[in-house]
Structure formats: structure tokens, C-alpha cells
Chains A and B, each alone.
Chain A
Amino acid sequence: MKGQIFEVMGFVMLAIAIIAVIILLRTTSIGSFGKTILTLAERHEREGVSAGANALFSMTESKSGKSLQELVGIAAYIGNDTIDFGPSISYVDVPQEITWRLDALYGKDHWYMRVPYPKIEAAIQIIFIQDTSSSLCDDVENLRKVLPGLISDLRAAGKRVTATIYLLEGGSPCCGIGSNPSQPYVISCDKFPQSQYLRCSNIGGLQCEDKRRGDPSEDWGHGTACAIEAGPIEGWQKFSVRVVIPISDEVPEGSECGLDTGNPRCCASTPSSYVEQHNSLLRGIEVAKKNGVFAFPIKADPGSGCCPSCSNCDAKCNICVIWQGQTYHDFTQLQCQCSGLVTQYMTEMATATGGQMYDLSKGSDLASALKDVIEKVTPERTGALEAGNRAGYEIAQRTKNIRAVNFPVPVAVAGVYTTANIYEWA
């Protein structure tokens, strides 16, 4: 009986062993097949994500013709997702351009992209258009005192500011100004301590289409157009913040036009009679807008600050002028009466270009006005370019298998690199 029991048990054990071997074989085989298929599918997905990233950065945006890699690089340089390419191309919204492409390649809501922006201070290039008529001598002297120190301080604080002063041609010497008031004061570039960041030049030396008309020393409308076309002495940098600051106390081409003929027209007459002055202004605005330049005109005191009524003020508001070798103490009533129109014109230019007008005759301080300009034009930088489904990415990070691709992006203008991090999930 024992022998039979052992015999049956032996058979049962053999059967169990064989069944175990079969189960083991199948489990191992299925497990290994499953793993391999997952690995291969994963490889395909990874290659797809890399291919998508490579392809994306080579694609071009239709308006600017630039590749997405260039656009991300420019956005990283200016620290803004939207790039302004001027009036002909207009704005390019970089995340939007990335979004529709990656939605098509990876599927909507299945990806997220982040490009940290490097810390780059935007270059701010300022051009001053300086009226050189004798009534501006005190303002030029003031600019001479304020500007070099201001530029040095701003640069020491990390701001990449440069300034070019273009002096309008002509202008009479004045007196009673500067360290030696008895000597004639001639507005010239010698007044300014020039450096790599502060330069001065006479506008007459520039090659430009716009010639100054009327009184050339006061035609800051055409002068602005000419200076912008020529650019600052170091040239316009790519994607710099561009600022033009005309400084004058008269309308473009002068407020006293027609005075020599005994028939003063300009602002003292009907607007149609001073259309040329307005055209000069419009030309300045047109060129500024075309070149993406902000205008911050500074209105010097045309006498109205000293004499609001503009009449019977000669004694207290006289300007010392040297003309044809003779010294005159002069107050121009016509110029004073044009104060409102000067304000109107300067405001028109500022509004059209996104800038602001400063009225020094109303107590604005030149130094604080210039600091204010710098503050206003310094672009606000965002920390990073982001596109895609960030919320989905944060959830997928915890629950799903995410594929990540890092792509170097050159910030060509600054000579540095940043990295585009692209995440994709099923």
C-alpha cells in the first residue's frame, strides 16, 4: 500500500513540476516580450519628441522669416515673449507661434515648454536733438552739467545707456552763461566731456535725406528724422531700446517765421499758415515710428515761464544774445506766445511714438526728467518664456511617464546661451 501511495505521489509531483515549468516559461516569455515592446515603443516616442524639438526650432515664422530658434533667442535677449519688428512686420508673439506648431506635432495639452531668460540688461540708446538758438544756451549748459554724471551713474548701476548729442546747425552765441559770463558762449560739442558712452556731433555732418528748413538751428522736426536715420554715432544696435530727445523752446523751423518779412505767421496766425512747421514735426514722427524710436521731447522755457502774459516782460526775462558782434538783451514776445503750440507739437510727437513730453518751463528738472525717461523705457523682463500646458505638466510629473528634451538656444545679440526645456507626455 505504501509503495502505491509513493508511486501516486511521485506522479503527482512530476505533474506539478511539469506544469510549473510550463507556467514559468510562459510568464517569462510574456514578461520579456511585454518589456521589450514597451522599450521599443518608448524609444519611438523619445525619438519623436526629439524630432519634434529639432524640427520646431528650424521652422520659420511667416511674417519675420526668422526661425523659431532665432525668435526664442531674441525673446530671451529682450526678456519679453512679444517681439516688435517695426511697422512693416509688426509684433510676433513667440509662445503663440510655438503653441500651434507643438499642438499639431505633440497633441494639444500634451506638452509644456519653458525657456529661462538670462539676466541681460537691455541696451538703451539715446539721441539728443539740441536746438542751438541763443535762447537755449542755459539749457545746454544745464545738460553739460547733468548728462555726463547721469550716464556714469546709470552705467555704474548696470544700465547699458549710451547717449549721442546732435547739435542743430547755426545758432548765435550768447552771453552771461557758463564759468566766464563775460565771454561769448558758443553752443558746441566742446562743452561736453565725450566718452565711449557719451558722444556729440554737429548734425550738419550727417548724411540724411532730411535737410533742416526755416531756421535750421530750431528745426528739430527734420533734425529728429535726420538723426534717427543716421543713428547714434556707434550705430543702432539690434533690439536696443531707442530714444530720441529733442530739446527746444520753439516749434520746428522756429516760432518766428516770417518775422524778417514783416509778416510774422507761424503760431501767431492761423494754423494753415504754419503748415510747414507741422510737416517738419510729422516727418520726425514718421521716421521715429518707422525705426521703433520713443520720443521724449523736452520743452525749454520760451519765456512764458518767466512771463506768463508774454507782454511787458522785457526787463526781467531778457536773454543775452551776441549777434553780428553786438550784445543784445532780448525778449521775443512771439516766441513766448508760441509756448502753447510748442507744448502741443511736442505732446503730439511723444504720444505718437509712445514717449512723453517734459516741460522745463513748468519747473521740471532736467536731471529728474532724464532719469524718468530711462525708467520709463527700461523694459520689464519676464523670467522665462512659457508655452503649453503647465498645469497638465505638473500633474503628469507626478502620475505619468514624461519625456524631456533640452535644446540649447543661442541668444546671439548678447553672445550667451539659454536652454529650452520641452516636456511631452501621452
Chain B
Amino acid sequence: MKGQMSYILKPISLVMTIALLLFLYSSISESIAKERQASKTLNLISTSTNILLILANSEDCLAYRSPATDGLYANIVDVTKLKQMASDFKNIEPPCARNYNFGWRATVVEINQDPQTPSKIWSFGAKNFSTGPAFKNDINTSMPIAIRYSDKDVIPGNIYIYLVNGELENIAGALDWSCDLFRNGRLNATSFGIHTSFPLSYYKSTNELCSGTKQKSCRVMSCPLAIKDIKAPGDYVWTISYLQGSLVVK
């Protein structure tokens, strides 16, 4: 009888142990996946702060440089640069604050003492973003600034940023990153894997990479692309080379 019990218990123990180990493995895998996702969220928060600081404090972006002192003033935005940026970068992030992992659009709003006075607004950056399953997460945040018209006219304002983590932003970011390195002669060829939940198509006339079927989200690219449309969602490995100012994607 004792021996029979042992014969039953041992296989049961074995099966249970294997089940426990499988549970442990799946938990660890899940934790790793969650950590990666969390890391992206953290990165999103950190990046939003950094981009806002760069926009308001970098001379290449919006910061005002005084010709008299030849000094930059923290968080003082030059209205001339602001107007120029809103006109030059209606649909794309300005290179001074480009981020290759995320897409963003910034809006600068003037603050008036009298709430009835209409506020002036300037906007620049990516026009649209990943949607549906291609969208991962986003953040909407702001930072105070001063908008300088002249020495005697500096008024309060806020700079808002909408930052998006999505497939289109990741794919376009990787291609723009390659483009910038190719242009600077720091890259000969590269390859990377992408995942897309929608078909991808490229429009040469507007230099836009679009994701989606009916309602498409499009991004203006840094370099023209020589690429075949991707008709089905899935994982792909791209090999990138640079030919006569264009990215050749295979």
C-alpha cells in the first residue's frame, strides 16, 4: 500500500513542480515585458521634460540671445524665432529638439492678464501620430516661459508638448536617425527590425511615411525613401543603405 502511494505521489509532485516552474518562467517573462513597457513610460516623462528644456533654453531652438551681452537667457523665448519655427516646422519636429524614439507637437500659448483678450498661439512639430494598436502611450505636459517681443515687452506664456510613443514614431525615428548619420558620413549601412500593426506606405511627392488602412497617420521624413510599401502587419527586418541623398530600404 505504501509503495502504491509513492507511485501516485511522485508523478503528481513531478507534474506540479513542472507547472510551478512554468508559472515562475511566465511570471519572470511578464515582469521583463512590463519593465520594458515601464521603462518606455519613464523615458517618455523624462524626454518630455528634456525636450521642453531644450526648446526654451537652446539658442538653436527658441531661446533669446541678447546681442548686447551675447548671453542666453533661461526660459526666455524669442518671438521672432517662435514665428519662424511655427512657419518652418508645421508638420515635423525641428531638428534642434528631434527625438528618434517619440513624436511630438509643441504649442506655445501667450498669457494675458485680461482673460477676455484672445491669446496668441504658435504650434509646430509632428502633425499626426500612431493610432489604434500602433499607439503605445503618450504624455501631455507643459513648462512656463517668457515670450520676448522687445526689451520692454516680455510677457508670460506656457509651452505645451504632446509626446507620443507609437510604432510609426519608432519606425520613422529609426529611418530619420539613419538618415542623419548617413548625411554626416558616420554610417555606411545598417539594418534593424520593425513591428507594424498596419500596412505602411510611402508618398514620394510629400515625402511622407504613412501607417494605417483608411485613416492614415503620416510623418514627414528627413530623407527621401526608396522603399516598397508594406501591405501586411507583422515583423520585418530592414536593411538600409544611402544612395544619392535617399535612403534605400530593403
Contact = CB atoms under 8 A, between A and B. Distances in A.
A29 B31 contact: yes
Nearest to B115: A104
3 pairs of A and B residues whose beta carbons are closest in the complex: A65-B152, A55-B146, A52-B144
Interface of A: 1, 3-4, 7-8, 10-11, 14-15, 18, 21-22, 25-26, 29, 33, 36-37, 40-41, 43-44, 47-48, 50-52, 54-56, 58-60, 62, 65-67, 100-101, 104-106
B17 interface: yes
B27 interface: yes
17 contacts: A7-B9, A7-B10, A11-B17, A26-B27, A36-B42, A40-B42, A44-B48, A55-B156, A58-B146, A58-B148, A59-B146, A59-B154, A66-B152, A100-B113, A104-B158, A105-B156, A105-B158
Interface string B1-17: 01001100110010011
A101 B111 contact: yes
Given A44-B141, A54-B74, 12 more contacts: A14-B20, A18-B20, A47-B143, A50-B74, A54-B146, A55-B144, A55-B145, A58-B75, A58-B146, A58-B154, A59-B154, A65-B151
B79 interface: no
Given A18-B20, A104-B111, A59 B31 contact: no
Interface string B90-115: 00000000000000000000010100
B140 to A, nearest CB: 12
Contacts, number: 119
Contacts of B141: 44
Interface in B50-107: 52-53, 56, 73-76
A22 B49 contact: no
A33 B35 CA distance: 8
A48 B145 CA distance: 9
A22 B24 contact: yes
Given A3-B6, A18-B23, A48 B113 contact: no
B231 interface: no
A1 B3 CA distance: 9
A65 B150 CA distance: 10
A48 B45 contact: no
Contact of A25 (B27, B42, B52): B27
A264 B56 CA distance: 75
A37 B154 contact: no
Interface string B106-136: 0000010100000000000000000000000
A14 B143 contact: no
A59 B152 contact: no
Contacts of B52: 47
B194 interface: no
B107 to A, nearest CB: 16
A15 B148 CA distance: 66
Given A37-B45, A51-B74, A60 B154 contact: yes
A11 B18 CA distance: 11
B34 A48 contact: no
B34 A58 contact: no
Nearest to A96: B113
Interface string B137-173: 0000111111010011111111000000000000000
Given A22-B27, A59-B155, A51 B145 contact: yes
B66 to A, nearest CB: 11
B222 to A, nearest CB: 28
B189 interface: no
